[in-house]
Amino acid sequence: MENKIKAHNSILELVGNTPLVRLNRISEGFTGNFFAKVESFNPGHSSKDRIAMHIIEEAERKGILTEGSTIIETTSGNTGFSIAMVSIIKGYKCILAVSSKSSKDKIDMLRTMGAIVYVCPAHVSADDPRSYYEVAKRLHKETSGSIYINQYFNELNMEAHYKSTGPEIWEQTGGQITHLVACSGTGGTISGTAKYLKEQNPNVKVIGVDAFGSILKKYHETREFDSNEIYPYRIEGLGKNLIPGATDFDVIDKFIKVTDSESAHTAREIAKTEGIFAGYTSGAVTQALKQLNEQGEFGPKDNVVVIFPDHGSRYMSKVYSDQWMEDQGFFDTNTVSETQKVQY
Ligand code: PMP
């Protein structure tokens, strides 16, 4: 009998090809056209599905991973979830060494996805044998046939976006993109996407979004590591206290910094205006748009693409909790803009 079933063979076939959605109300009054690449449409609800798939499939191609091999990484965040998801389908063991600062919800979520989670003390330095970096390195050394994803220093991270996110955006905009604005953490998303887009049209302007308390913007401007730039901040997944090897700073034209408070309020505003339930860094990148628009960055015919990296459900006890916002002082009148005061 002819097979008429239109099913995917596994959830992994749904990685990538995420939609580009026009922003309407949040960009009201801005000069230009604005579009969001909504990465929560990936099956693991974030852009990290792309790097998990690419890095694991490259290791398979090279014969490093075989059935039953172990995959190791040091994150309780989106990358951990994506690696766990890919590991389940492909039959690998997934070990995640995470900081004791990670929420119980996150650890439970990773265990639900089949990962073995080592919870390592947060208060020790990175070179302490108990730190999650050192635990991951040790497990990698001790486990033959294992791979250590090491997303901050793995060039395949950038390559995943060069091969998928970049071409998708070029195709979805019919080559008419003028600006890419994206958060930079490992830098894989922005550098890989930018590299592809600039190869198609060198005039595409690429703007990275960084946090106050992170080193990236200053490093981009001076190529020097200035430890005075580093202090704690709230936004997760954006900015860094080291120079990630996975970032190609040469394909980024400039960086802009955003605050914890304004990014949090803007994330809430995206839900209320566009009906898109996105993560904290989607708030950050949209906050950057507001600032860039005010600075006169965009012309009336410009087509600006921003990347929304993940889904809002991961932030219910943070940005989308009034109590958490209150505890951070984000409802203090002097940190909230006039328009945001009206909304909340
Ligand atoms: N947003 C979130 C929520 C993330 O987890 C990350 C990854 N650290 C980013 C943005 C930044 O992406 P990239 O690591 O590719 O720079």
**Global confidence as pTM:** 0.95
User: Is residue 344 over pLDDT 90?
Assistant: no
Please give the ipTM for the structure prediction. Answer: 0.99
Same-domain pairing of 321 and 220: yes
Pairing of strands 20-22, 33-38: antiparallel
Catalytic entry in 48, 195, 198, 318: 48
Same-domain pairing of 207 and 292: yes
Read off the tokens for 316: 């219910």
Q: How far apart are CA 70 and CA 92, in angstroms?
A: 6
Nearest CA to ligand 1 atom 6: 237
pLDDT tens digit sequence for 130-179: 999 899 999 999 998 899 999 999 999 999 999 999 999 999 999 999 99
Domain assignment present for residue 239? The answer is yes
Q: Which of 5-9, 222-226, 250-254, 330-334 has the lowest mean pLDDT?
A: 330-334
User: Is residue 339 over pLDDT 60?
Assistant: no
Q: What is the pLDDT of residue 244?
A: 94
Q: What is the pLDDT of residue 77?
A: 86
Same-domain pairing of 165 and 304: yes
Same-domain pairing of 251 and 131: no
Same-domain pairing of 134 and 196: no
- How far CA 208 is from CA of 56, 59, 181, 215, in Å, comes to 27, 29, 6, 12
Domain assignment present for residue 130? The answer is yes
Tell me how far the alpha carbon of residue 236 lies from the centroid of ligand 1, in angstroms: 8
Domain assignment present for residue 57? The answer is no
Q: How far apart are CA 278 and CA 39, in angstroms?
A: 9
Domain assignment present for residue 282? The answer is yes
Domain assignment present for residue 56? The answer is no
Over residues 59-85, mean pLDDT: 93
Question: Kindly report the CA angle at 48 between 51 and 181, in degrees rounded to 5?
Answer: 100
Domain that holds residue 236: 11-46+161-328
Same-domain pairing of 36 and 71: no
At 326, the pLDDT band (50, 70, 90 cuts) reads very high
Same-domain pairing of 265 and 198: yes
Domain assignment present for residue 1? The answer is no
Same-domain pairing of 194 and 215: yes
Same-domain pairing of 110 and 135: yes
Tell me how far the alpha carbon of residue 310 lies from the centroid of ligand 1, in angstroms: 8
Tell me how far the alpha carbon of residue 309 lies from the centroid of ligand 1, in angstroms: 6
Domain assignment present for residue 336? The answer is no
Domain final position from 148, 174, 199: 148
Same-domain pairing of 206 and 306: yes
Same-domain pairing of 176 and 275: yes
Same-domain pairing of 73 and 165: no
CATH of the domain at 127: 3.40.50.1100
Domain assignment present for residue 186? The answer is yes
Number of domains in the chain: 2
Q: What is the pLDDT of residue 176?
A: 98
Q: What is the pLDDT of residue 33?
A: 98
Catalytic-residue membership of 163: no
Q: What is the pLDDT of residue 334?
A: 61
The minimum-distance atom of ligand 1 relative to the CA of 157 is: 15
At 100, the pLDDT band (50, 70, 90 cuts) reads confident
